[in-house]
Structure 1
Amino acid sequence: MQLKFEHQQYQTDAVGAVVRLFEGEPNHKQLFELNAGGASPVVANRLHLPHSEIGRNLNAVQKAFKQPETQIGEHGLNFSVEMETGTGKTYVYLRTVFELNRRYGWKKFVIVVPSVAIREGVVQSIRAMTAHFQTAFDKPAFQFHVYSSERLNALRNFAVNHHIEILMMNIDAFNKDKNVINRVNESGNAPIQWISGTRPIVMIDEPQNMETDLAKQAIDALNPLFVLRYSATHKNPYHKIYSLNPIEAYNLKLVKQIEVEPVLAKNDVNGAYVVLKGFVPGKKKLSAKVEIHYQDKKETKKKTVTIASGDDLFDKSGGNESYRHGFIVNRLDAEAAEMVLSNGQIITLGEGGDALRDEVMKKQIECTIKEHLAKEKRLNPKGIKVLSLFFIDRVANYRNGGKFARWFEEIYERETGKSAAGAHNGYFSQDKNGDKDTNGSSAADEKTYDLIMRDKEKLLSFNSPLRFIFSHSALKEGWDNPNVFQICTLNETRSPVKKRQEIGRGLRLAVNQRGERVRDEGVNILTVVANESYESFAANLQKEYEDECGIEFGNGGAKPRAKRTRQHFRRGFTLDPAFLEIWKKLQHKTRYSVQFEREKLIQTACEKIKEMAQVQKPQIMVQKAVIRQTQTDGIWGEERSSRAEQADIDWEIPDVLHEIQKKTLLTRQTVFEILHRSGRIGEIGNNPQRFIDLATEKIQTALYGLMMEGIEYFRLPYDDSVYQQSLASWQELEQDGKEFFKNEHTFAINQKDGKKREKTIYADYIPLDSDTENRFALDCENYENVKFYFKLPKCFKIPTPIGNYNPDWALVMENQEKVYFVAETKNTGKGIQEGVDMDKLRETEQQKIRCAARCFAVFDGVAYRTVKKVEELA
């Protein structure tokens, strides 16, 4: 198959942006000059246009394409073109070569790439595009070479030939003094001088990977006439002259639309799960990040913690009994990428995992095959071959009967009734021992790239039965295929491949059997079968666009990013009588006592466990969501479907009574009686840890409810030292202020009207968390009978059986007499009458509020209220 290339308007614009930089330059087609030594004729590029004129052209181009205007002296003759992956970046800079030659007669071009993968991709593009450019530019004579230190004579040909010469170089081939190209030979010259003598136009592919001082010096050593930089993710956009960012490309339908099909494990918190995520080098001691099952007060969940040699995962897990014996870290070895535990277990970087991980990956393969077959049924009659790409992180999982190959063949043959032979294959680097894991940048990868590049067009033909491609990290960059419609990431590490890198392998618009682009929107849909939620996928993709492309998303649906700001306090507020009066009242410390009957607890807890939802087995959840993108609203997913399947796994049952006893502090006998009477013990086998978490929650709810009924607060004797200490903390804030993150709820103390603001302790901002709180602060400023108010600091806490409670506000109000309030602001919506509907609050909120009411009842002259508005404080 011969791919056909169309010249799109946006590509014409990108080429034209470069050409227009040099308007006024004469055509040098017939000219040549001698090299510095004069020994042999070197055909060199020449530039007559002064920099000042190029600078005026630059600003005109930037204005035309709505790019920030820059001064030519800022970056010299370095120019950047930004184009999203899949929109023909390589085509654009290769066409620019021929356009610059036609317009200005320049003949010598060097393309610099950062890796073998990208180099091989460009080589394949030039092979595929040669016929197209021959037709478009009236058969220009040109030579293309890939630099090799073993063929240095090719550099002389590059220098002396009179037709277009394109030389491709990997940056690693000429960025060190020891490189062959930089070594001085018997004649006293270094081979690189053949290139530098031609004043080549240098085109850098993915320049963000070549921003080190060493790389910059190497580029300068080429003595470029000027430098053109092409990328989708510029780190430093030197004189940006054209931009087609990912949002624009997506919404102009220049790339495939994206849908995500997440495959996730639910309720999966059983056993001693350990995944080694990475190493953290330190000055004194090596540490590592591991993901484990962590137990907090409420539930067991996955959490990443930092560990070092000698640490016990039992302690790091919050006392999870699964790690009680044998989980002390005996050794960390960053070089071998492994961690050794005291039970003898060796955990390699990226290995380990939960019992459901294999089930999730098997389901990912199934979803990919089903999606593939459905698209084949729809697209094959249109002459479009469908390809699916699997990324894996360990070659052994595919080759020689690896689990991925076994699962694929089982599922494929079950779904199609046909043999899987020939339908799938892997592209991996090899050494003398066979396939190997590599990072995509080694010499061993070159054959892999060569193979996949040679097969690129073959893969598009119905004549080849191969439709499912398995590859290692080698294909993370530099290779894509227009007919990749599914991408499935089977990485045991769960380490996130960059989303742009992941989807980039399949963003190009599809082609049919005649090699023509298919621009049907219903055809061009890329399905990413992911092991993360679509919300997470969208959020990570948006963050990459922000970080790598500098895209700023508006507020029309995307929550604006909070800004770090300093909050200042009103000078002298700690001497204000109103503040001192209420703060002195609030500084009394309290303690509480509780009473309840054991039998009533057993009865109440038993009833709550009877009523709790059935303990579900761990599930594998499959969703599907369309990804939407706009520069106004950001990136989000719209869910279209979801389904869940139970996973049948036999769990090792822990000591359930001990686990619940440890969390509730009740006796083993009491816990046993509660569970026995509840009739729910039979559900433990479904999901032991989830049963423990749920039953504990119900027992604690019953326990706390009884404690609330019998709670009694006592005010402790006044302690002047505690009061003075807290007053000193206020005085420190008065002096220095504090940092906070400003958001849409932050209340600004408006001083533009010239009025003095002395009703509160703040000089500029009050950090708040809701519209209700913001309205409350505004009313405090406007209501005449509010004489003083402020937000209670986080350190002000009321002790309760279910944890400390921090109320919202302190107020001094005055009508005929002065009244002191502590207020909690809640908004439960409009009810039958004004105020807060306590029944709509979470049970824990209700319990803390009831405790606070009893606590403040022992304070002198302080009333506690739960309100929505200031006017409700009577």
Structure 2
Amino acid sequence: MKLKFKHQGYQADSVQAIVDCFKGQLINDTASRYRIDPGQLAKGRTGSLGQDDAGFRNTDIQANVRILENIQKAQRHQNLPQSLKLVNTKACLINLDIEMETGTGKTYCYVKSIFELNKHYGWSKFIIVVPSIAIREGVHKTLEITAEHFLEDYSKRARFFIYNSKDLHQIENFSSDGGINVMVINVQAFNARGKDARRIYEELDDFQTRRPIDVIKANRPIMILDEPQKMEGAKTLDSFAEFNPLFILRYSATHKTEHNKVYRLDALDAFNQKLVKKIGVRGITTKGLAGTNAYLYLENIEISTSKPPVARVEFEQKLKSGSIKRIVRKLGKGDNLYDLSDGLDQYQGFVVSDINAVKDTISFLNGHELYVGEASGDVNESALRRIQIRETVKAHFEKELQLFDQGIKVLSLFFIDKVAKYRNYAADDDKGEYAHVFEEEYNRCLNEYTQLEDSPYQRYLKGITADRTHNGYFSIDKKSKHMVDPKTAARSTETDDVDAYDLILKDKERLLSFEEPTRFIFSHSALREGWDNPNVFVICTLKHSDNTVSRRQEVGRGLRLAVNQFGDRIDDPSIVHDINRLTVVASESYKDFVSALQRDISDSLSARPKVANEEYFTGKILVTEEGDVEITAALAKQIYRYLLKNDYTDDKDHITDEYHNAKRDDQLATLPESLQPYAPQIIQLIDSVYSDAQLPDIADERKAKCNELNGNFYKKEFKELWSRINHKAIYQVEFDSEELVVKSIKSLDDKLRVEKLHFDVVRGEQSDAVSYEQIKAGQGFSVIDHEIENYDASIDSRVKYDLLGKVAELTKLKRNTVAKILSGISHHIFAQFKNNPEDFIAKGINLINEQKATMVIEHLTYDTIADKFKSNIFTASKKQDFSAAGKPLNNHIYDYVVTDSKTERKFVEELDTSKEVTVYAKLPSGFFIPTPVGNYNPDWAIAFQEGTVKHIYFVAETKGSLQSLQLKGAELAKIECAKRFFEKVNEQISSDHVKYDVCVNYDDLKRLVM
């Protein structure tokens, strides 16, 4: 497998924010050349710069570059708090913070930033500093696997290496090479007491009596700090100055110390934009029993449309030998645990009186009641850990059954606090307690899954034994070759740890392959940062509570979106959370774990604004396709009044639950007409104001009900409907490039208006009498006059713009096609290029892409192929949380269906009670129509009864609004493509064609049907 990388908008935004901070900096190749200190072997040598000692350093930031103004502009563009000054440190004057949530690809982003900074400003020397060996190896792996990707984008490779005090020729190459050079170094390599760490500051005989740090610092490197909050000791901060950095970029999800923040993608942004997995929790609650020691654990309750509910309960049973064993049995109403336990006295009175599938409880005649996930009686630590391991294995199998046919390998991760719990070298088989328990529980669960009908997944399971499917990743003692705890290995060399992490860190692709039998990973809790694999779907912490470790850190290793066997990331927004669902098996109750996790997330959002008043909105920037629009005081007043009028803010100007509920249900009140052109941007701005209602909904997986296909699935009407729509297809787009040229030229002539570079000249003077509060609020001066002076000169000729190349790259058109377009536009339109090249390029690309998208739809054709969607896609994703799904349904192919809004829920209720509807289905994510703008998954398939014999077959897309403002771009394009697809499908159907359309509600649907 080869992991693939695609261009993500949010990642490009994070890079652009950094690049924009240095606008005005010009490439100057001659200023970057210098003589490398040749060392003792050539001391005193003078003369011209020779080839052997020529070096290439980062050029200094030029005096005309207005760093603070650029930072403030980047911040305004994202509506971040404004920096009033450059936050200096001992290391350097410029320190930029980039906040990115765990799992969103911050390593990829700063590697891309390296290429962009080189492209725009010629800087080529970079040092990535990390706090641990694990992170160091992860960064090095990312540099390796993204090399081809960035070669395609930038036509160049970066030379990268891990700093090693015993391999210093790499530093020589770092200095002398003129291309992009990246050194990766862990902080212990220059900030520890060990001999190896001291070498960087010592004159070394094997380095021509030079200090390595002096050779490094001569390059004026740009330093990139990965997880800087872990490198904030006074000595460490002082050490950064030794590198003489040009500036420092700090990447983290949890910055402790704030500098000049230029980009933010926090936990809420990542979740709401579906850039990380959705989280579900299986909590385990222990409770004591007064006067009894009866052990009980309620695993779950199974329901069926044809049978009463049954409870899976673990209890103790006396064997013929007299020993006691814990077993799991399905219990029904009236079952007597005293009899089932073979007469154990502690179970007297434990007769099942009720099994409540709504409340998820089992009750006994003696008054005792258990909720799903609760254990009572003799619950020691061993019992708790066994329950956790069992639940992890069960969750793993459930997800694997769902995802195997989609080519997605599932991994589960156990964090433990002692190696001895997993690996016991005193035992004959070297296995510790957890390894034995795992294999027992794995085989127990495997037996249930191997009873299913023969399938590729069944054969896959049978090909892997329990002892081969789990592995441990810890530090390795070189002498004994045994796994050891980190404290034991504290004095070992760095390579000891690296050897332990080969598969988990370096061979990420092999671990993701079905050919590799490892699916369950045991590791020390210290491996939290630095290791991340996109296909971790279950995390279990088999360790005592650690107050120094946040719940957010614990779940962070599993937040990355999954990839399939082709290396493609599963990130289609329409299906992303159907597949990307992380299960956390906690050693505490669901309520306690979720409360702690929500608190961690809330604490991390302290920098978000809390009030939505006029002052907050005034001056904010709305980023539109036509350009940036600043919110005036008048517009801010209108937004504020809109929120007040609809009870979307309370008396303290906090965003209310009413707003979030209305937004979720597609029921937001319409904005005033003057705000309509900016509706998406204004809603996004309102969303940036924090409220508790925004916190991610974390599902209680204990309450997930069984949702098997029911009899409706086997109805003749549904089979007929399915046979009509289950075609797979390919599309072709053939259009005349000359037509695109003509349309693009017209669009550019009509709409391309470039903002001319100008200076805002503001004159003011200090007020006569100013209070301390006014000075603090920045009100000590008043404006006398204000004027705009245009900048009439063309941009300095030293700035090199590849106009054709840039436009061709971002429109995916050939250079000669772009040349025809640009040469065809009016002279006065093209003349704008010299005034503001960057604005000309950006707006021109948008206008050309608009015409291209329109033509793609106009010239799109579909052809069906012999392959069809199989009906097993309806069973692939049945394991969901149906606790809020309401009552069982009558006409749907499942008993329950999960809806995304009140509008959709009402739609389901009307479908289910309508006499005209014979059967309907919420189409699973596995059913899709390929389109040029991504796969499209329609919402509903419905069979209507017309008369006594005829049926009308309908595929519907439900939308809260049909306003064009809310249905545009890729979404509208997919709908148009779907219409073309079903037109093609109907050509092959002799009668009872399939209708496809978009509707707002059931009444709208009936009108379309009729």
TM-score bin, normalised by smaller chain: 0.5 to 0.7
Cα deviation, 1:680-710, whole Å, max 9, x if unaligned, reads xxxxxxxxxxxxxxxxxxxxxxxxxxxxxxx
1:429 aligns with 2:475: yes
Instruction: Determine the structure 2 residue equivalent to 1:201.
Output: 222
Q: CA deviation at 1:59?
A: 0.8
State whether structure 2 residue 101 is matched by structure 1 residue 84.
yes
TM-score normalized with structure 1 length: 0.53
Go from structure 1 to structure 2 and tell me whether the alpha carbon gap of 1:410 and 1:638 turns closer, same or farther (over 3 Å shift): closer
Q: 1:367 to 1:45 in 2, by over 3 A?
A: same
2 CA distance for matches of 1:494 and 1:521? Answer: 30
Matches within 5 A, 1:46-125: 46-50=59-63, 53-75=66-88, 76-125=93-142
Read off the aligned partner of 1:167 and give its amino acid letter.
M
Shift of 1:642: 5.0
Query: Is 1:530 matched with 2:586?
Result: yes
Structure 1 residue 184, shift from structure 2 partner: 2.6
3-state DSSP of counterpart to 1:134? helix
Secondary structure of the corresponding residue to residue 522 of structure 1: helix
Q: Would you say 1:369 and 2:393 are equivalent positions? A: yes
Question: Which is worse superposed, 353-362 or 450-459?
Answer: 353-362
Contact 2:131 2:226 (8 Å CA) reproduced: yes
1:126 alignment partner in structure 2: 143
Match for residue 456 of structure 1 among 502, 508, 521: 508
The residue type equivalent to 2:508 in the other structure is K
Matched residue SS, 1:6: coil
Distance 1:639 1:558 in 2: 30
| Partners of 2:694 and 2:610 in 1: CA distance | 6
Report SS of the residue matched to 2:597: helix
Cα deviations across residues 20-58 of structure 1 (Å, max 9, x unaligned)? 111111123565322486863221101243276111111
Q: Which of 1 and 2 has greater Rg?
A: 1
Query: Which of 414, 439, 442 is residue 412 of structure 1 equivalent to?
Result: 442
C-alpha distance 494-547 of structure 1, shift in aligned 2 (>3 A): closer
Q: Aligned partners of 1:413 and 1:558: how far apart in 2?
A: 55
The correspondence of residues 341-380 of structure 1 with structure 2, limited to 5 A, is: 355-380=379-404
Distance 1:268 1:470, change over 3 A: farther
Partner-residue secondary structure (3-state), 1:260? strand
CA contact (8 A) 2:225 2:251 kept: yes
Query: Is contact 2:203–2:210 with CA below 8 Å preserved after alignment?
Result: yes
Contact 1:199 1:224 in 2 (8 A): yes
Alignment-mate amino acid for residue 467 of structure 2: A
The one-character-per-residue Cα deviations of 1:213-245 (angstroms, maximum 9, x if unpaired) are 211111111011111111111111210000000
Aligned CA distance change for structure 1 residues 171 and 14 (closer, same or farther; 3 Å): same
Q: Deviations over 1:320-378 (max 9, x none)?
A: xxxxxxxxxxxxxxxxxxxxxxxxxxxxxxxxx98522111111111111111111111
State the match for 2:178 in structure 1: 162
Q: Does 1:262 pair with 2:283?
A: yes
Q: How many residues align?
A: 496
Which residue of structure 2 lines up, in the alignment, with residue 183 of structure 1?
A: 202
Q: Is the 8 A contact 1:265 1:356 kept in 2?
A: no
Please say if 1:20 is aligned against 2:50.
no
Distance 2:109 2:278 in 1: 22
The amino acid that maps onto 1:363 is I
Correspondent of 2:524 among 439, 449, 472: 472
Which range moved further: 34-43 or 511-520?
A: 34-43
Say whether 1:224 aligns with 2:229: no
Residues 466-524 of structure 1, C-alpha deviation per residue, up to 9 Å, x if partnerless?
A: 11111112421110110110001111466674212211111000000100001232000
Amino acid aligned to 1:181: I
Whole-angstrom CA distance in 1 between matches of 2:229 and 2:276: 22
Letter in 2 for 1:531: S
Residue range with higher mean Cα deviation, 74-83 or 522-531: 74-83
Structure 1 unmatched runs, 5+: 273-352, 562-628, 645-874
Structure 1 residues 198-597: aligned runs within 5 Å: 198-267=219-288, 355-399=379-423, 400-417=430-447, 419-431=465-477, 432-433=479-480, 434-438=482-486, 443=494, 444-492=496-544, 497-519=549-571, 520-550=576-606
Contact 2:23 2:65 in 1 (8 A): no
**Counterpart in the other structure of 1:824:** none
Unpaired stretches in structure 2, ≥5 consecutive residues: 39-44, 46-52, 294-376, 424-429, 448-461, 612-646, 653-689, 706-1010
Structure 1 residues 30 and 141, CA, compared in 2 at 3 Å: closer, same or farther?
Answer: farther
With normalisation by structure 2, the TM-score equals 0.46
Maintained 8 Å contact 2:25/2:65: no
How well do the aligned residues superpose, as a CA RMSD in angstroms?
Answer: 3.1
User: Contact conserved, 1:535 with 1:637, CA < 8 A, in 2?
Assistant: no
**Structure 1 Cα separation of the partners of residues 3 and 503 of structure 2:** 18
CA distance in 2: counterparts of 1:362 and 1:482, whole angstroms: 26
Mapped to 2, the partners of 1:29 and 1:155 lie a distance apart of: 21
Alignment of 1:595-634 (within 5 A): 632-634=693-695
* CA spacing shift, 1:636–1:461, aligned 2, 3 Å: closer
Q: Taking structure 1 as reference, are residues 30 and 128 closer, same or farther at Cα in structure 2, changes over 3 Å only? A: farther
> Residue 61 of structure 1: SS of its match in structure 2?
helix
SS at 2:21's partner residue? helix
Q: Percent identity among equivalent residues?
A: 42
Q: Out of 31, 43, 49, which is 2:56 matched to?
A: 43
Determine if contact 1:391/1:471 at 8 Å carries over to the other structure.
Answer: yes
SS at match of 1:421: helix
Secondary structure of the 2:540 match is strand
Q: Residues 638 and 487 from structure 1, CA distance in 2 versus in 1: closer, same or farther, beyond 3 angstroms?
A: closer
Distance of 2:475 and 2:78 partners within structure 1: 43
CA distance in 1, matches of 2:704, 2:570: 32
Spell out, residue by residue over 1:168-222, the C-alpha distance to the aligned partner (whole angstroms, 9 max, x if none): 1111212358610101346664111111001011111011111122111111110
Q: Is the 8 A contact 1:207 1:231 kept in 2?
A: yes
Distance 1:427 1:102, change over 3 A: same
Match runs of 1:789-808 below 5 Å: none
Partner of 1:5: 5
Cα drift, residue 454 of structure 1: 2.5
Deviation at 1:271, TM superposition (A): 12
**1:142, distance to aligned residue in structure 2 (A):** 2.6
Paired residues for 1:729-748 under 5 Å: none
Matches within 5 A, 1:824-863: none
Report if aligned partners of 1:108, 1:200 keep a CA contact under 8 Å in 2. yes
